[in-house]
Amino acid sequence: MNAVVEKTDDIEIRLFLEALYRKYHYDFRDYSMASIKRRLRQAKERFNCGSYSLLQDRMLHDPLLLPELLSYLTVQVSELFRDPPYFRTLREKVMPHLRTYPSLKIWIAGCSSGEELYSFAILFREEGLEDRALFYATDINPEALKKAEAGVYELERIRLFSENYQKSGGKSSLSDYYTAAYGRATFDKSLRRRAVFSDHSLVSDAVFAEVQLVSCRNVLIYFDRDLQDRAIGLFGDSLSHKGFLGLGAKENLRFSRHSEAFVEFSRNERIYQKRSEP
C-alpha cells in the first residue's frame, strides 16, 4: 500500500501550532507551512531545543517565552512608505475619491510596528484629510502594537524611509515629522491623534467597523489559501460601497474565491475597489 508517510518534523510542527493555539489562542494553524516551518526552525535553534516537541514543551510551561516566540512566527519586516509607487498612486489617484467622503475610516490590517500607520497619517495630513479620518491599526502581536503606539524607529532606518517618502510624492521633508535623539527617531505624537491601535486577528475576529479603505500589505502571503479567502471576505464585508483594498507589491486576488467582488483600480500597485452591489 502506498501510504504517504508524514515526516516526524511535520507532525511535531502541527502539534506545536495546535498547542500554541490551545494555550495562548494565537492561531497559526492555517498559515503557509513553508514559511512557518523555516521560522520555527530558527526559533528551535534560538531556544536550543533539539526538536519541535521540546520547543512545544518549553512554550507550554514557560509563558515568558511567548513574546519572543511570537516575534519568530510573525514577520515584522516593514518600512515607512514601503513601495513608494503604492503611496504615490494613493496620493494621486485614490485621494480624489476619498475627498468626496465627509468622514473616512481607514483600516491598516497587520500594522506591524506602525510604519504603515505613520505613512498614512503623514499622507492624509499633507493632503488635508487628516481631520476627517480615523485610522484603525491592528495586529495580532502585542509587542508590535506597543512599538506602533510609540512611533520610535532606529535612526539608521530613516534614510530609507526618507527616500521612500520622497519617491512617493512627499510634499516636504520626512524630518518635519520626527525628532532624532540617541540613535532613534521619534515620530510626532500628533500623528497618532486620529489613530486607534488594537489587537485583531484576521484568523478569528469579525468585522468591527465600516471602512473606506483597507491596507493589508504583505500579510496575506503568510496565510494559506483558505485563510486568505477568509481575510479577503472580511475586508469585503468591512468595506463600504466602492471602498478600496490595497495589497502588497506582489500580492493579488487572482486565486481568491472573492476575486469577483472587486475590480482592479490600479493593477500595478495592487489597489482594488469593491464592486457596487447589483
Partner 1 sequence: MTKSSYEAVVIGASAGAVDALSKLLPELPAGYALPVLVVVHVPADKNSVMAELLQFKSKLKVKEAEDKEPIRPGALYLAPPDYHLLVEKDKYLSLSSEEPVLYSRPSIDVLFETAADAYGPGLIGVILTGANFDGARGLKLVVDAGGKALVQHPETAFASAMPEAALRACPGAETLSLAEIAAFLKEAQS
By CB under 8 A, residue 75 contacts partner 1: yes
Give dist(CA 10, CA 41) in Å, integer.
11
Q: What angle do CA 157, 40, 200 make, to 5 degrees?
A: 65
By CB under 8 A, residue 228 contacts partner 1: yes
What is each CA distance from 183 to 167, 179, 186, in whole angstroms?
24, 11, 10
Give the relative orientation of helices 8-24 and 33-46 as an angle to the nearest 10 degrees.
Answer: 80
C-alpha cell of residue 33: 507551512
* CB atoms inside a 10 Å sphere around CB 59: 21
Residue 7, helix vs strand vs coil? coil
By CB under 8 A, residue 249 contacts partner 1: yes
What is each CA distance from 93 to 87, 96, 130, 277, in whole angstroms?
10, 6, 17, 22
By CB under 8 A, residue 77 contacts partner 1: yes
Backbone angles phi, psi at 170, to 5 degrees: -55, 135
Q: Could you say which of 48, 154, 206, 255 contacts partner 1 (CB under 8 A)?
A: 255
By CB under 8 A, residue 85 contacts partner 1: yes
Q: Residue 136: beta bridge partners?
A: 107, 196
Q: Could you say which of 212, 215, 218, 238 contacts partner 1 (CB under 8 A)?
A: 218
Q: Which C-beta is closer to partner 1: that of 119 or that of 212?
A: 119
List binders of partner 1 among 96-155 (CB under 8 A). Answer: none
Q: Which C-beta is closer to partner 1: that of 104 or that of 219?
A: 219
Q: Which C-beta is closer to partner 1: that of 97 or that of 167?
A: 167
Q: What x/- string results for residues 2 through 31 when contact with partner 1 is judged by CB under 8 A? A: --------x---------------------
CB 177 within 8 A of CB 122: yes
Considering only 18-26, 91-99, 175-183, 217-225, which stretch makes contact with partner 1 by CB under 8 A? 217-225
C-alpha cell of residue 163: 527616500
By CB under 8 A, residue 221 contacts partner 1: yes
Considering only 123-131, 164-172, 200-208, 219-227, which stretch makes contact with partner 1 by CB under 8 A? 219-227
Considering only 20-28, 32-40, 114-122, 237-245, which stretch makes contact with partner 1 by CB under 8 A? 32-40
Q: What angle do CA 217, 32, 79 make, to 5 degrees?
A: 25
By CB under 8 A, residue 250 contacts partner 1: yes
Enumerate binding residues for partner 1 (CB under 8 A). Answer: 10, 32-35, 37-39, 75, 77, 83, 85, 218, 220-222, 224-225, 228, 248-252, 254-255
